[in-house]
């Protein structure tokens, strides 16, 4: 009998807090984090589950988006990643990794908080790949504030545009392009169930994403397109040290989860593979929670 992967205690599988204080300017870079996040660069092994598919992933340069891009490419998909121009150094790393593996990756920088950019991103990705089968709307903005009175109208507006408006604009475009069997996967959060006061605007958008996903799913299904979402718990991404959390919380990030540590992006990628694959053909309007044991109800 072939020997399978070694069993490991999930509580000690990755680094546990406390971490060092490591403030970055927004939106942050994964390559400057300590410890470095694991996006599955060494661990994710594909098995052809998405062979021939064409996927667009926003926020694909780092964090959860990078982990999904790596997983999709290794499952046989052609992949476009979107990211902010300032995140080019992280996008370089993804591109180099997959180019060395002879995977097809297209880089499409742009700010999805701008309507023209968000809409054109979808149509340009479809033109580049000859179609679009999978859309992962992952890019997010999160800026901590000590009190709701400290959230400026500018911050609130920008958070809504990146997290909610972009989803709306891109979904409209995708539904006109995607064939039956296509899949739209949104990214909500544990914050969409249990909001933290210091990121109240961000949490509000995650509630909105939940509602949008559940409401859109039966409508999109009339076109043969499945809509679902993933709800991450505390994950170790560049969002956290780039003003997504106060520095004292970055030090102890994930400590309050039953797992006792934050999740690594590599630990959630397979959820996105499942939702995009034929194995999830009867999964519609679901929110798949990956929270390290944190309850969503």
Sheet holding 105-109, edge to edge: 105-109, 78-83, 54-58, 134-137, 183-187, 226-232, 287-290
Cβ-contact 102, 78 below 8 angstroms: no
Give the separation between CA 40 and CA 37, rounded to whole angstroms. 9
Say which of 44, 202, 274, 282 is annotated catalytic.
Answer: 202
* Residues in contact with 194: Cβ distance below 8 Å, sequence separation at least 6, in sequence order: 294, 296
Could you tell me if residue 233 is left (phi over 0), alpha (psi between -120 and 50 degrees) or otherwise beta? beta
Torsion sign (Cα): 267, 241, 17, 191: negative
Q: Is 202 a catalytic residue?
A: yes
Q: Is the dihedral of CA 8, 241, 289, 61 positive or negative?
A: negative
- What torsion do the CA atoms of 215, 216, 221, 224 make, to the nearest 10 degrees? -170
Contact 223, 10 (CB under 8 A): no
CB 231 within 8 A of CB 222: no
Contacts of 43 (CB under 8 A, 6+ apart): 266
Contact 281, 221 (CB under 8 A): no
Question: Residue 189's closest CA among 159, 154, 158?
Answer: 159
CA–CA gap between residue 266 and residue 64 (Å, rounded): 8
Q: Is the preceding omega at residue 27 within 30 degrees of 0, hence cis? A: yes
Residues with active-site annotation:
202
């Amino acid at each position: 009998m072939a020997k399978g992967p070694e069993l490991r205690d999930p509580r000690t599988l990755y680094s546990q807090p406390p971490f060092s204080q490591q403030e970055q300017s927004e939106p942050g870079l994964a390559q400057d984090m300590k410890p470095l996040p694991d996006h599955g660069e060494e661990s994710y092994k594909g098995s052809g589950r998405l062979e021939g598919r064409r996927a667009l992933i926003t926020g694909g340069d780092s964090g959860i988006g990078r982990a999904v891009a790596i997983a999709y490419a290794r499952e046989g998909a052609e992949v476009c990643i979107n990211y902010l121009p300032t995140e080019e150094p992280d996008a370089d790393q993804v591109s180099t990794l997959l180019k060395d593996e002879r995977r097809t990756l297209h880089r499409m920088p742009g700010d999805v908080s701008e309507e023209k950019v968000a809409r054109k991103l979808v149509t340009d990705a479809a033109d580049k790949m000859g179609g679009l089968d999978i859309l992962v709307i992952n890019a997010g903005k999160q800026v901590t504030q000590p009190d709701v009175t400290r959230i400026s109208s500018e911050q609130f507006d920008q958070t809504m545009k990146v997290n909610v408006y972009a989803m709306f604009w891109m979904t409209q475009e995708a539904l006109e392009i995607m064939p039956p069997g296509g899949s739209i996967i949104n990214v909500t959060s544990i914050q969409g169930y249990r909001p933290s006061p210091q990121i109240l605007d961000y949490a509000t958008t995650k509630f909105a994403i939940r509602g949008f996903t559940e409401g859109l799913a039966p409508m999109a299904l009339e076109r043969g397109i499945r809509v679902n979402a993933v709800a991450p718990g505390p994950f170790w991404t560049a969002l956290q040290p780039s003003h997504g959390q106060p520095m004292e919380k970055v030090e102890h990030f994930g400590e309050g989860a039953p797992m006792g540590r934050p999740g690594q992006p590599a630990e959630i990628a397979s959820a996105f593979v499942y939702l995009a694959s034929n194995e999830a053909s009867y999964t519609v309007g679901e929110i798949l929670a990956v929270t390290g044991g944190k309850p969503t109800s």
